[in-house]
Structure 1
Amino acid sequence: MNYTTQMDAARKGMMTKEMKQAAASDALSPQELMAEIAAGRAVIPANKNHKNLIPKAIGKGLTTKINVNLGISEDCSNFDNEIDKVKTAVTMKADAIMDLSCYGKTQEFRQLIVETSGAMLGTVPIYDAIGYFDKNLTDITAAEFLRIVEVHARDGVDFMTIHAGINRETARRFKKSGRLTNIVSRGGSLLFAWMEQTGNENPFYEHYDKILDIFEKYDVTISLGDACRPGCINDATDAAQIEELIVLGELTKRAWDRNVQVMIEGPGHMALNEITANMLLMKKLCHGAPLYVLGPITTDIAPGYDHITSAIGGALAAASGADFLCYVTPAEHLCLPDMDDMKEGIIAARIAAHSGDIAKGIRGATDIDYKMSTARKNLDWEGMFELALDPVKPRRYRKSSQPEHEDSCTMCGKLCAVRTMNSVLSGKKVELKEDDCHAN
């Protein structure tokens, strides 16, 4: 029996090698994973042309995955720097790489990522269209927009952001909304401008069935982009965002009718008290499809620290049902992130993802926390470092400030609570010199 996509195989009761591999590294059995894929509640982005892919599953009952954005631009077009980022991101356990390149030899760069990385690869084809065709935006035809999608699919891209939800009716709603920051999605703003200036319907919406033809052929997962995501907390959960979300729910069912796997992209900037309701609403309106969220960023006043605002929102989003977090770096809103920015963003996103997994009761999520607590109880410093999300930084701190006694640290010394309790409970006498107590 043949199959076209992972969803098609799951619906036919066929266990693919990708399902087996993804399940082996996650919380569900292969049979449980297959059932979730068949229902559309989980996906395995796995383009048939991405030969060295290490498959990962995203969705219900699975650990929350994280994505790293990178790519070349007109101002920062160094291939080597970005490929180094790819390799480092994979080493730091990022689950996916999203190539947002928009300038220069984008296809060559994209193909290089596919060849060198086993991580899932995502792209936003509309970013590439202007450079690929060397045309002004309004001179690009609907057929050319579709052609660039097929180029990316043929190159081995596993999932693509397609902004099909911002049709002319959604755009009309947006123009009446009085938004503070308008449309902050790069792809969404380009399509809005194209529609306004040509008078035509969004080609990704008008020719959606042709997009599905491509995605079914190569088994690309469609990530339905949120063109109307809020760009500030003032704009969150407004009519434009909800109007687009309703359209995305309709497009989800159309994709499933073709056995094309679907993810739904989510908000942007949003106050903490709105996040849980938004995750529930997105799941409801989009029929339980996996949610892929940027942040949400919980306050607008922290440029330089938006990896923190994003991690706060991401943890709550994951706890409330989000399945895939797009990392945010300290450089968000400011510049292209460098290597150090990327590392900070990855760790922040992994903290948020794991915190969410604990809260929503993902099978086995707290196992590593139990091991860390045991290592702390035993004052096993090397064990703590090995279990840490980032072993490098805690080792550096420990080395930079050596205590007098190896079983303590320079903050507490002999007053270490763990050291004291271990001694007392093992029947040893606790002896503290007077000068050890002066600080208190």
Structure 2
Amino acid sequence: MPQDTAPQAPAAPAPSARALLPLILPSLLVGVGASLLFLGVSEAAEAFQDVLWQDLPDALGVGRYSVLWMLVMLTTTGVAVGLVVWKAPGHAGPDPATTGLAAPTLPPVVLPGLLLAATLMLAGGPSLGPENPIIAVNVGLAVWCGRRFLPRAPGALWAALAEAATIGALFGTPVAAALVISEALAGRQTKGALWDNVFAPLVAAAAGAITTTLVAHPSFDLDLPAFGRPGWGDLLTALVIASAGALLGMAAVYAFPYVHAAFARLRHPMLMLPLGGLVLGLLGALGGHLTLFKGLDEVAELASDPEGWSAGGFAGMAVVKLAALLVATCCGFRGGRIFPAVFVGTALGLCAHALVPDVHPALGVATGVLGVLLAITRQGWVSLFTAAVLVSSPEILALLCIASLPAWLLVTGRPQMQLREDGTPVR
């Protein structure tokens, strides 16, 4: 047989320690800066939330979470964010339905409007988290500063550092960022060993996580009853609940382009966002005040009393929260989907516990969150990690890994909860 004698191009050398060491200081700076921006926005939003949902209704003699106040506040938030999207330079960034965790690099002039829109949203009650806009702002700032002060470094490096740093800050640990990076690198042809490629982002993620931990002392552990040694029944439970969570999440994913198209027909943010706020107020009135806001504090409240609601109550909150997540994203509020999806999965898992008391609440919550996150984010490692840290149980981790397999089969290759510019879903 004839042999190919064409000369082969030499493989590019892997990065050396001499090449990686100069990245440490920029990575540390990006990590600390990303965390401080996240903490600052969170603190400002929480303070403003207290004014809107405690001080103001108390001064007016209105119930803090009365139906009237929820309708007024959510609609007003829609008006306020609509004004920012309409008038701010760059219109507070791209349509949130077209973005994910991998943020586009936005010009600096767009970033103040995006930050303001996200802060108003977090304080006003729509069911979205801070992750997408905070990542986008940190990426934009890091790329701008990097090009200004270290122009020889590639722009992609600064974006990777900012994304990793923000994810580390959001979760209070660099592990989540490392998992996201490794998942992203799996689909690319990269040079050198995995740890060469994740070295600088992992430094940034560690700096972001440590800064958040030292300043804010976050904890994702829901302090649910301890889970003992798993049995065959627990394995079946994990498989069923994770798959049910994936199916529930996929219902929202399939509805996503249609709900987005309905709001898009209004064409103007001062119509889309106030109407979306009104719908969110009606959903809040239906599901109760726990279905408002990003959902992390509300998840802790649910988990503090697993027996406090009936199965129907938990199921209702899961469905309402998922609908609120869908509406908030489709009408134009700037925010992320991870934390509301965690609420949906938690409510689903506690619903399973209420229906079948033999279902351990920690197992129900972890597998419910896993299934819903797989459908909503399509990020396998992040879904596993988030589900695991909520219950802090090594015994559940093996069950989560097994339960992720049928759940992943239900979501892979299907539309994602992200749209292209023409309104068609990303696959």
TM-score higher than 0.5: no
Structure of greater Rg: 1
Structure (1/2) with the larger helix percentage: 2
After TM superposition, the score normalised by the length of structure 2 is: 0.29
If asked which structure has higher relative contact order (CA below 8 Å, sep 6+), I would say: 2
After TM superposition, the score normalised by the length of structure 1 is: 0.29
Structure (1/2) with the larger strand percentage: 1
